[in-house]
């Protein structure tokens, strides 16, 4: 290949490269810079005061931050685990031929396409403590005795949040897994059948091992997506009751745009970023090792 | 027998997936009397259109929200595809130094927590006078949709045989001409898929829209909808009428192009 042509390819990359550099990479460093200052937008005349790592020192003793971090982990773990189970079930179902499969496939895309904010409003109404259809159904089925304020008690708010998220994001998981299922050669199942392998053996010996890398990739994307959750919590609980559903992104947002403390808010953002970096690195290392 | 359990299971799943959406539409057609009634009625007794009228007359510039969302989303789509297609073409066609670093960067960007750049973007945009403009949203949206665009387009470009362009190159075309005259027409379906996905992403985004554009006339629809709740009561009927109006175009898009969307969503992820 000619040198001139190779050079052209660099020019082709350049617009994307510059966009990412200016609007994603540079801002992260700027965020670190801001986090080393005290910046109170309520007192603009004070300006930016350099304080070194003081914000980070405060952060390690900030109980609300630790609460938000554990909430984020709880939410991420709970919703991603449920999504994987349900998504795998739906994918296996969609992989078979049956009447109405086209309709099913189309309906699966509906929750995915709905804006998360709208989904949040929808679930807020479904969970309504007096007129919600969720309470109505559960009392009718005898699961609960009386109406419950699902979003209003610390015991149930996180669970309700996870359930709403599972509804919204399982389709994506299911579609990824389905694509992985479709890559598995059909002959393998035929051969296993001839050898007398049962339904369960075929699943655990063929489907799961061959689907492993797809599952990991799907988990990686969903985990990172769940870890930065903001809009659903913002609409459904706003972090309440009593900060029991406050996530890292929401806590950072509140410091930035409610308390207008850009220094500490930026420190929270940097910490969130580091956690995402750490978790994704672990995932990628695992995926690489398995790929080998 | 086995087929029957499967059908029942499927039916149950479809209900779980569709019911919340149906419930939103159904509520949007209920009068306040019917909405706050026990037990709830599954079908509205009569179609009550007041909620829909209220969406446009309650004092919130709902039409403007939609227009803003539309301008921001379509501009993002065009910018993202334009910038992304160049990169995708280079990635699908050549090995060059730094390619893996670039790909790693793209992957990192896809997992990026947006909160991490919120304060600097806000600070910088305020200095540049960009807050409360369309550009304030188009710029970050384009950036964060680049991984999606580049992935999908690279996959489509890879499927186009190199021999066609080799021939064009021998005939004396420059790579830019090859991209425009040979590849672009062949990649049109891929570009279309990509456009749908980027558009939906931009239409649904919330965090940047909430924080960067706070003037009511510059708000997008996702933020606008959260502005309906009043101080003392939540106008559920109006909210769901508005929600229905906002999601219906997306649902139609999804139903018309479901195959393309599924292909686009899963592109790359399976191949690793």
Position A55 in a domain: no
Q: How far apart are alpha carbons B11 and B242 in whole angstroms?
A: 29
Domain annotation covers residue B180: yes
Residue A180 to residue A231: CA distance in whole angstroms: 30
Q: Which residues of B touch A33 (CB under 8 A)?
A: 120
pLDDT given at position B74: 97
Instruction: Quote the number of domains for chain A.
Output: 1
Does the residue B226 lie in any domain?
Answer: yes
Work out the average pLDDT over A103-131.
91
H or E element in which residue B200 lies? helix B184-204
Instruction: Break chain B down into helix, strand, coil percent, rounded to 5.
Output: 75, 0, 25
Give the mean model confidence (pLDDT) for residues B13-20: 88
Pull the structure tokens for residue B115: 């909160």
Pairing of strands A37-38, A49-50: antiparallel
Structure confidence at residue B2 (pLDDT): 65
B212, two tokens = 């960067």
CA separation (Å) from A191 to A95, A198, A210?
19, 12, 15
% of chain B surpassing 70 pLDDT: 96
For chain B, how far is it from start to end, CA to CA, in angstroms?
Answer: 39
Verify whether the Cβ–Cβ distance A103 to B14 is below 8 Å.
yes
Q: Which of A65, A45, A47, A67 is nearest to A55 (CA)?
A: A65
Tell me the shortest Cα–Cα distance from A227 to chain B, in angstroms.
Answer: 8
pLDDT digits (tens, 9 = 90+) for A81-93: 999 999 999 999 8
Please check whether residue A83 is in contact with residue A166, taking contact to mean a CB–CB distance below 8 angstroms: yes
**Residue showing tokens 């972090």:** A239
Does residue A45 lie in a domain region? no
> What is the total count of domains within chain B?
1
| pLDDT at residue A22, rounded to an integer | 95
Domain hosting residue B145, numbered range:
61-266
State mean pLDDT over A126-138.
90
Question: Is B9 inside any structural domain?
Answer: no
Give the tens place of pLDDT for each residue, B154-209.
888 888 888 888 888 888 888 788 878 888 888 888 899 999 999 999 999 999 99
Residue A165 lies in a domain: yes
Give the Å distances, CA to CA, from B138 to A16, B71, B201.
15, 9, 12
Q: In chain A, where does DSSP find H-type helix?
A: 3-20, 26-35, 54-60, 63-95, 101-113, 116-126, 133-141, 157-183, 186-194, 199-202, 208-227, 231-236, 248-257, 262-291
Report the pLDDT value the prediction gives residue B272, as an integer from 0 to 100. Answer: 43
Residue B98 within a domain:
yes
Instruction: Check residue B230 and give its pLDDT.
Output: 67
DSSP code at position A206: I
Which residues from chain A sit within 8 angstroms of residue B247, using beta carbons? 113-115, 118
Predicted pLDDT of residue A292: 62
In a domain, A12, yes or no: no
Q: Report yes or no on B1 lying in a domain.
A: no
With tokens 């927590």, the residue in question is B113
pLDDT at B266 over 70: yes
pLDDT digits (tens, 9 = 90+) for A3-51: 666 778 888 999 999 999 999 999 999 999 999 999 998 888 888 899 9
CATH number of the domain within which A111 lies: 1.10.3720.10
Q: Evaluate whether residue B236 is within a structural domain.
A: yes
Token output for B64 = 């403007």
Interface of B with A in 46-75 (CB under 8 A): none
Q: Does B17 contact chain A (CB < 8 Å)?
A: yes
Partner-chain residue, chosen from B109, B239, B262, that has the shortest CB–CB distance to A175 = B262
Mean pLDDT of A255-272: 96
Which residue of B12, B101, B115 is the best one to mutate when testing the A interface, meaning the one whose CB has the most A CBs within 10 A?
B115
Could you tell me the pTM of the whole model?
0.93
What confidence category does residue B231 fall into, taking pLDDT thresholds of 50, 70 and 90?
low
Rounded alpha-carbon distances, angstroms, from residue A280 to A219, A273, A292, B143, B238: 10, 11, 18, 20, 41
Q: Domain containing A112: what range?
A: 64-291
Please name which of B101, B80, B222, B223 lies closest in space to residue B153, comparing C-alpha atoms: B80
Distance from CA of A279 to the nearest CA of B (A): 10
Could you give the CA distance from residue B171 to residue B163 in angstroms, rounded to a whole number? 12
- Decide: A115 and B249 in contact? Cβ < 8 Å: no
CATH code for the domain of B107: 1.10.3720.10
């Amino acid at each position: 290949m000619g040198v001139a042509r190779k050079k052209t390819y660099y020019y082709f990359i350049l617009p994307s490269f510059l966009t990412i550099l200016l609007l994603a990479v540079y801002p992260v460093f700027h965020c670190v810079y801001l986090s080393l200052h005290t910046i109170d937008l309520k007192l603009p005349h004070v300006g930016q005061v350099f304080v070194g790592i003081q914000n980070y020192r405060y952060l390690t003793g900030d109980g609300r931050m630790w609460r938000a971090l554990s909430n984020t982990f709880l939410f991420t773990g709970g919703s991603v685990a449920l999504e994987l189970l349900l998504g795998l079930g739906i994918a296996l179902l969609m992989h078979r031929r049956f009447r109405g499969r086209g309709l099913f496939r189309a309906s699966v895309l509906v929750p995915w396409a709905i804006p998360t904010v709208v989904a949040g409003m929808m679930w807020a109404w479904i969970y309504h403590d007096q007129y919600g259809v969720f309470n109505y159904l559960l009392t009718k089925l005898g699961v609960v005795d009386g109406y419950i304020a699902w979003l209003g008690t610390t015991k149930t708010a996180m669970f309700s949040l996870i359930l709403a998220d599972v509804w919204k994001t399982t389709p994506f998981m299911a579609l990824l897994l389905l694509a992985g299922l479709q890559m598995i050669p059909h002959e393998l199942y035929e051969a296993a059948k001839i050898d007398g392998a049962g339904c369960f053996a075929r699943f655990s010996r063929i489907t799961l091992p061959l689907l492993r890398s797809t599952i990991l990739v799907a988990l990686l994307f969903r985990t990172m997506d769940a870890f930065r959750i903001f809009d659903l919590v913002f609409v459904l609980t706003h972090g309440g009751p009593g900060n029991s559903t406050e996530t890292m992104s929401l806590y950072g947002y509140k410091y930035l745009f409610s308390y207008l403390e850009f220094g500490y808010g930026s420190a929270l953002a940097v910490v969130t970023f580091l956690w995402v970096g750490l978790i994704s690195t672990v995932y990628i290392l695992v995926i690489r090792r398995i790929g080998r | 027998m086995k087929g029957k359990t499967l059908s029942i299971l499927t039916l149950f799943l479809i209900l779980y997936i569709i019911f919340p959406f149906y419930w939103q539409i159904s509520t949007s057609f209920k009068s306040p009397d019917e909405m706050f009634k026990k037990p709830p009625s599954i079908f509205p007794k009569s179609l009550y259109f007041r909620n829909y009228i209220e969406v446009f007359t309650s004092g919130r510039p709902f039409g403007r929200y939609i227009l803003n969302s539309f301008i921001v989303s379509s501009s993002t789509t065009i910018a993202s595809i334009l910038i992304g297609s160049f990169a995708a073409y280079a990635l699908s066609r050549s090995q060059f130094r730094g390619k893996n670093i670039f790909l790693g960067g793209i992957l990192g960007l896809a997992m990026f927590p947006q909160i991490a750049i919120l304060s600097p973007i806000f600070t910088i945009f305020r200095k540049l006078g960009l807050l409360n403009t369309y550009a304030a949203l188009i710029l970050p949206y384009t950036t964060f949709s680049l991984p999606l665009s580049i992935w999908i387009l690279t996959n489509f470009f890879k499927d186009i045989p190199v021999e066609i362009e080799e021939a064009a190159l021998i005939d004396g075309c420059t790579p830019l001409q090859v991209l425009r005259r040979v590849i672009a027409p062949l990649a049109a379906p891929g570009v279309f898929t990509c456009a749908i996905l980027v558009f939906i992403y931009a239409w649904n985004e919330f965090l940047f829209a909430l924080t960067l554009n706070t003037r009511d006339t510059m708000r997008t629809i996702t933020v606008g909808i959260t502005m309906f709740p009043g101080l003392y009561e939540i106008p559920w009927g109006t909210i769901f009428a508005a929600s229905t109006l906002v999601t219906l175009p997306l649902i139609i898009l999804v139903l018309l192009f479901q195959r393309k969307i599924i292909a686009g969503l899963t592109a790359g992820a399976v191949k690793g």
